[in-house]
Amino acid sequence: MNGNAGYQIIYPKCSKFISVPPFRPPYGRNSPKDPIRIALDIGGISIPITESKPMWSDFWRSVERELKIRFYRPKSIKSYKTALRGLAVWAKVPPHMMTKELVRNYLLNLVSKGSGSAWLSVVISAIRTAFDKLGGMNVSAGLETPRRGRHLPIVLSEEEIVLLLSAATSLRDKLLLGIMYACGLRVSEVCRIRWSEIDLERNQIRVRKGKGNKDRYVMLPKVFSGIFEKGKDKCSPDHYVFAGARPNSHITTRCAQKVMEKAVQLAGIKKNATCHTLRHSFATHMLEHGTDTRYVQVLLGHARLETTRLYTHVTNTSATAITSPLDRIGVNEDQKCKLYFSKNNGLQYLSEKAFGIKGILEFRLKIRLGFLMRSKKGLWESDAVIEIEHERERIELLGIRVFEPRDGWIVMELPNAEEWDSLLKVLPLAIQKKISEPEFYERLRTILSKRFLARKAEICAGGTCATHEQNKHA
């Protein structure tokens, strides 16, 4: 109370000081990193570059040794060695004379030549690991990982997936591409699948040592259950599903990429589709059919949910039973190779000529189209035979069916390539390779389609459009 009666001074209430931090400190990949000097004071220098002054060859071996005992992946070690080799060729100085200015000028040279942010990040990581963390030179101080653009992935439609799998010429190729799409696997993961990792009782495939050296489970498509049951009975559990040419080895990622390139070309898909496109398509189709993003994140093996959200918005639908998209679009395990041809696509007729291989080997190819008839469903169809002659060898490839599901749209159906293996073994390896190339199938498709349409026009013009039953009695 002051001197004036009836008045009281009320002071504002003071807020209390909170001693705890208002925000949670960042963790994981965003957590603050300890300075390199502190880490070096604790653990010491693994490669004394300034004292030993090694040459580049000795320096590479030392770095490779340190990375291996730290359990770096072989692919990461290979990328680091490639990045350091490029720096050595450009700088033309021994490792102990490397400076901050040389490193920055080399990075500027890479940017000027059009290198992307992804490769620049690999180069910076290789330099920081080799020179700073292992050698204690601190030549990458102040460098940050470049920002990477977020580009939308290329996605194939479900109809294009059917065309792609139909264009695969062998059962192995169908299984390889089908598993990549049905399970959303990376190309390196699908190449390393062993028979012991396939659980038919739980309909699951165990993916061992995926990206980040992590294991996970993915669903097993039901359409391939029959193939896996037969394979597990015949093969050893330790063998690879996609075995390589050498004993106890798997196919390389480049081999899988060639299978994808061949199928894309034969299917007539114009998109720049790669093996990873099948993984993008798997995630997109799962989300389009209502699967929750968190389930898709687990199946893809993403560490962050934001990476999965790139494909589409977050859905609130709870997926109690996840179905593989390959089972949804209706692809059968015994589906034959189907190549399509439209009379409006501008392909020109190719006459029968001898195939030459580097001017040394030559073989004669003859294509015979059988009698054209109409089935009970009203479809025009015919059988075809391929006759191959080389020196004294002569073989016939049977089982080819050509039919017209709608006017002007011709489908060539081939048996799986495994059915022809025993016949093709009598030919030289160079000819076998020539026959397995996409150009051979393109030529076969064009010749049969042109002859089919010409034969159909002749029959309809003469008024002899016989049905299947009439031709059978004839």
3-state secondary structure of 337: strand
Query: What are the chain's domains?
Result: 33-133 (1.10.150.130), 158-329 (1.10.443.10), 337-473 (no CATH)
Active site residue 104: no
Active site residue 186: yes
Q: How far is CA 153 from CA 156, 175, 466, in A?
A: 10, 23, 50
Active site residue 302: yes
Q: Check 128, 133, 250, 279 and give the catalytic one.
A: 279
Task: Summarize pLDDT for 357-380 with one digit per residue, the tens.
Answer: 333 346 677 888 888 777 767 778
Residue 345 pLDDT > 80: no
Interaxial angle between packed helices 275-288 and 171-183, expressed in degrees from 0 to 180 and rounded to the nearest 10: 50
Task: Summarize pLDDT for 296-344 with one digit per residue, the tens.
Answer: 777 887 776 666 666 554 333 343 345 666 666 655 555 555 555 444 3
3-state secondary structure of 274: coil
Q: How far is CA 373 from CA 172, 377, 467, 469, in A?
A: 33, 11, 6, 9
Q: Check 186, 250, 285, 338 and give the catalytic one.
A: 186
Task: Summarize pLDDT for 97-109 with one digit per residue, the tens.
Answer: 999 999 999 999 9
For the whole model, what pTM was predicted? 0.62
Active site residue 172: no
CA 70/CA 85 separation, integer angstroms: 21
Residue 71 pLDDT > 50: yes
Active site residue 276: yes
Provide the pLDDT for residue 354.
38
Q: Check 96, 211, 309, 401 and give the catalytic one.
A: 211
Q: Check 128, 262, 302, 338 and give the catalytic one.
A: 302
Average pLDDT value for residue range 435-451: 82
Active site residue 72: no
Task: Summarize pLDDT for 141-157 with one digit per residue, the tens.
Answer: 888 878 776 677 888 88
Provide the pLDDT for residue 311.
59
Q: Check 80, 181, 311, 441 and give the catalytic one.
A: 311
Asked if residue 173 lies in contact with residue 260, where contact means CB atoms within 8 angstroms, the answer is no
